[in-house]
Chains A and B, each alone.
Chain A
Amino acid sequence: MPETPPESAEKPSGFDPSAFEGILSRLGHGGHLGMRYRAHGVGWVEMELPYAERLIGDVETGVIASGPIISLMDNATSLSVWTAIGEFRPQVTLDLRVDYMRPATPGKTVIGRGECYKVTRSMAFVRGIAHDGDADDPVAHVAGTFIRIDNFLG
Chain B
Amino acid sequence: MTTDTEMAAILGFMPPFAREMGMTVDHMQGGLPVIAFDYGPHVMGRPGFLHGGAMSGLMEIAAIAALRVTVAAEEPAVRIKPVNITINFMRGGREARTYALGEVTRIGRRVANVEAKAWQDDPAKPIATVFMNFLLSSPKQV
A and B found bound together: yes
Q: List the interface of chain A (C-beta within 8 A of B).
A: 24, 27-30, 32, 53-60, 64-68, 70-75, 92-100, 152-154
12 further A-B pairs in the complex, CB-CB below 8 A; given A95-B89, A99-B84: A27-B47, A32-B41, A32-B43, A55-B16, A56-B16, A58-B15, A65-B60, A67-B61, A71-B53, A96-B87, A98-B84, A154-B49
- Could you tell me if A100 and B84 are in contact, using CB atoms closer than 8 angstroms? yes
A58–B54 Cα distance when bound, in Å, is 18
Contact B48 A154 (CB under 8 A): yes
Q: A54-B17, A59-B16, A154-B48 are in contact. Are A71 and B56 (CB under 8 A)?
A: yes
Sampled A-B contacts (22; CB under 8 Å) = A27-B41, A29-B43, A29-B45, A32-B43, A55-B20, A57-B15, A58-B13, A65-B57, A65-B60, A67-B17, A67-B53, A68-B17, A70-B57, A71-B53, A71-B54, A71-B57, A74-B53, A74-B56, A94-B88, A94-B89, A95-B87, A152-B46
Q: Which residue of A lies closest to B60 (CB)?
A: A67
Chain B binding site: helix, strand, loop or mixed by DSSP?
mixed
- The reply to whether A28 and B44 form a contact with Cβ atoms under 8 Å apart is yes
- Could you tell me which B residues sit within 8 Å of A by CB distance? 13, 15-21, 41-49, 51-54, 56-58, 60-61, 82-89, 92
Option from A29, A93, A95 in Cβ contact (under 8 Å) with B86: A95
Does A70 contact B53, Cβ atoms closer than 8 Å? yes
Minimum CB distance partner of A28 in chain B:
B44
Cα distance A75–B44 in the bound complex, in angstroms: 12
On chain A, the residues within 8 Å of B16 by CB distance are 53-57, 59
B46: which A residues are within 8 A, CB to CB? 24, 152-153
Q: Given the complex, which residues of B lie within 8 Å of A32, measured CB to CB? A: 41-43
Q: Is the CB of B85 within 8 A of A98?
A: yes
Q: A71-B56, A100-B83 are in contact. Are A27 and B89 (CB under 8 A)?
A: no
| Bound-state Cα–Cα, A154 to B92, Å | 9
A74 touches which of B20, B21, B52, B58 (Cβ 8 Å) = B52
